[in-house]
Amino acid sequence: MEPEVVVVGSANVDLVLPVQRIPRPGETVLAGAMTRGPGGKGANQAVASARAGARTAMVVALGDDEGGALLRAALEGVDLTLATTSDAPTGTAIITVEESGENSIVVAPGANGELTLSAEAVAAIGQAKIVLSQLEIPFATVQAAAAASAYFILNAAPAAELSDELLAEVDLLVVNETEAEAIAGPDRSALLKKVPAAVVTLGGAGAVILTRDADEIAVPGVPVEVVDTTAAGDTFCGVLAATLTVASANDSITGSDLTNAVRRANVAASLSVQAAGAIPSVPHGDAIDARYAEVYL
């Protein structure tokens, strides 16, 4: 069967360093034992979408190396027919995680920087209900994916200034507060001058939904004991995309559809921060729905 969600994005090997606190500029801190695992914004989001119940494919570039093999194994449940092998090494992320669960990330793109769209990828993107991308891959590839899609979600991370040409192709923008300011300045409502709808994530405080035809909707956070915030935002995006596939089957996504999807994504993110790591922390659909019922039903 054709994929419902196509994720066009990055995959990295995560090198995670636990620290008492994230170092300030010019400061050296000592870390605990380093762990190595699968991650990358695109890979995290693809796994989140698949685990949330959507048929999911990924357009990704991996190196012909140990890291590429690690990621192919980790992307269980994700269709990798459209994955390509690059001469460049698989992307790498160095993540410092402090005792509070907050993190700081530096990414060496590697193969991610070589990602382009084949004719087969463009065809799959055109047939998908939802296409989801981020900014750890070339902007030209994101632009091409947006132009080919029927409904395009852009998670504009890492923070960057975006062209009006790209934003004109975006159906739903997902950003945190820093990313929102990079695009539209300090007034987040100004995002709606650039895109028809946006979700601004607020960490533990939840998220807000902005649309041109309704007032701002606040979705409160779900209080939890935080272990590691790595991949929380990616879990949110992947589950959001997966949940919206049900609405897109009716040829339109309403405000209530978006609110429901953000609530489910919010619950999923709250579950992910209770476990360490990126892909290993992404929850499955049954756990998401059970917690959703406790919080909202």
Name residue 146's amino acid: A
Tokens 């309704």: give the residue. 214
- Gap between the Cα atoms of 171 and 197, Å rounded: 7
pLDDT of residue 229: 86
- Gap between the Cα atoms of 188 and 161, Å rounded: 14
- Gap between the Cα atoms of 179 and 194, Å rounded: 14
- Greatest pairwise CA separation for the chain in angstroms: 54
- pLDDT for residue 87 is more than 90: yes
Section 248-262 average pLDDT: 83
What dihedral angle (degrees, nearest 10) is formed by the CA atoms of 265, 271, 276, 281?
-60
DSSP state of 31: B
* Token duo for residue 45: 């989001």
Q: Which domain CATH number covers 175?
A: 3.40.1190.20
pLDDT of residue 182: 93
- pLDDT for residue 274 is more than 70: yes
- Gap between the Cα atoms of 233 and 48, Å rounded: 10
- pLDDT for residue 276 is more than 90: no
pLDDT-derived band of residue 262, with 50, 70 and 90 as boundaries? Answer: very high
Section 114-118 average pLDDT: 97
Section 88-104 average pLDDT: 91
pLDDT-derived band of residue 297, with 50, 70 and 90 as boundaries? Answer: confident
At CA 282, angle to CA 92 and CA 127, rounded to 5? Answer: 85
pLDDT of residue 188: 95
- pLDDT for residue 250 is more than 70: no
- pLDDT for residue 108 is more than 70: yes
Section 240-259 average pLDDT: 85
Residues flagged as binding site for K(+): 228, 230, 272, 275, 277, 281
All residues at 6 or more sequence positions from 278 whose CB lies less than 8 Å from its CB, including other chains: 14, 37, 38, 39, 40, 43, 44, 230, 231, 234
Task: Find the domain containing 180 and state its range.
Answer: 5-296
DSSP H or E stretch at residue 112 = none
Section 196-202 average pLDDT: 97
pLDDT of residue 134: 97
CB 250 within 8 A of CB 129: no
Residues flagged as binding site for substrate: 12-14, 40-44, 136, 234
pLDDT-derived band of residue 101, with 50, 70 and 90 as boundaries? Answer: confident
pLDDT of residue 69: 97
Section 60-67 average pLDDT: 98
Options 234, 251, 286, 289, the catalytic residue:
234
Section 253-273 average pLDDT: 94
Section 222-238 average pLDDT: 93
Residues flagged as binding site: 12-14, 40-44, 136, 176, 201-206, 228, 230, 233-234, 266, 272, 275, 277, 281
Section 58-63 average pLDDT: 98
> Quick one: residue 262, left, alpha or beta (phi over 0 = left, psi -120 to 50 = alpha)?
alpha
- pLDDT for residue 287 is more than 80: yes
Q: Is the peptide bond before 158 cis (omega within 30 degrees of 0)?
A: yes
In the chain, the number of structural domains is 1
Mean of all residue pLDDT scores within the chain: 94
All residues at 6 or more sequence positions from 70 whose CB lies less than 8 Å from its CB, including other chains: 13, 37, 38, 90
- pLDDT for residue 286 is more than 90: yes
- pLDDT for residue 245 is more than 90: yes
- pLDDT for residue 129 is more than 80: yes
Section 87-107 average pLDDT: 91
CB 46 within 8 A of CB 7: yes
The answer to whether 215 is a known catalytic residue is: no
pLDDT-derived band of residue 199, with 50, 70 and 90 as boundaries? Answer: very high
pLDDT-derived band of residue 251, with 50, 70 and 90 as boundaries? Answer: low
